């Protein structure tokens, strides 16, 4: 007891220091959980195959729901690149003759773990080639020109005032029948920084101005 009394100051310091580190650990855990909940994550992937007739799927791996609003498709070809906005109307018209047209959309709420189908990669390529003034008229009939396609999905997330986005690029192997759709890179790129999201907002505003 005398030893404890003689060293009470040091013991109190050690206990307080230990409690401090415990609270720091709790704070770090809370902060990591909060940031993870606030971090958006969309996955763009192939479904039911690996060729152009397979479905393009968008999954929400965020902790919160997201609301996809716009889909842009860019075709990179031998002469440059061409882009177009993919709308629900375009997707449904292109998918009218498909075996599985139900549920195809480019918009709508996605809960945590939810996914939506945007139709086939072939349909997205054809819509982009038809809608973009920059695409050569013979692009789809001369497949050797096509090199890759980039899909950009823009969505609203939580109470954020700026949109989030995710994009993924696929190499198109036109030497096979049907063409193979091969991901470039192991994962979907998340567009989450504020500067990138401001650029996305400007792109949407420009698109709306052109459509007006």
Shortest CA distance to 171 belongs to which of 105, 101, 63, 75? 75
Given a cut of 70, is residue 96 above it in pLDDT?
no
127, 91 Cβ separation under 8 angstroms: yes
In this predicted structure, what is the pLDDT of residue 118?
Answer: 87
Q: Which residue has the higher pLDDT, 151 or 106?
A: 151
112, 62 Cβ separation under 8 angstroms: yes
The DSSP line for 79-99 is TEEEEEEE-HHHHHHHTTTSS
Average pLDDT value over all residues in the chain: 83
Residue 57: burial class (beta carbons within 10 Å; 0-12, 13-18, 19+): middle
Least confident of 22-26, 99-103, 150-154: 99-103
The pTM score is: 0.79
In this predicted structure, what is the pLDDT of residue 101?
Answer: 46
Using pLDDT thresholds of 50, 70 and 90, give the confidence band for residue 86: confident
Beta pairing partners, 80:
77
Instruction: Name the strand (E) or helix (H) holding 5.
Output: helix 2-6
Say what percent of the chain tops pLDDT 70: 81
For the chain, the domains span 1-38, 39-211
Given a cut of 60, is residue 76 above it in pLDDT?
yes
């Amino acid at each position: 007891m005398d030893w404890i009394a003689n060293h009470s100051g040091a013991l109190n310091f050690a206990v307080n220091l230990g409690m401090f580190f415990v609270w720091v650990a709790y704070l770090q855990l809370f902060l990591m959980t909060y940031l993870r909940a606030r971090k958006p994550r969309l996955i763009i992937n192939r479904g039911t195959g690996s060729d152009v007739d397979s479905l393009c799927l968008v999954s929400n791996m965020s902790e919160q729901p997201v609301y996809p609003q716009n889909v842009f498709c860019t075709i990179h070809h031998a002469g440059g690149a061409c882009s177009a906005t993919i709308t629900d109307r375009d997707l449904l018209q292109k998918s009218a003759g498909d075996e599985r047209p139900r549920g195809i959309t480019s918009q709508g709420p996605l809960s945590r773990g939810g996914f939506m189908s945007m139709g086939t990669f072939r349909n997205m390529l054809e819509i982009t080639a038809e809608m973009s003034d920059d695409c050569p008229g013979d692009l789809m009939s001369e497949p050797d020109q096509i090199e890759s396609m980039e899909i950009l999905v823009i969505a609203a997330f939580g109470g954020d005032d700026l949109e989030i986005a995710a994009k993924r690029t696929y190499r198109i192997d036109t030497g096979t029948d049907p063409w193979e759709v091969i991901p470039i890179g192991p994962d979907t790129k998340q567009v989450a920084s504020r500067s990138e999201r401001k650029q996305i907002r400007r792109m949407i505003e420009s698109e709306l101005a052109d459509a007006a």
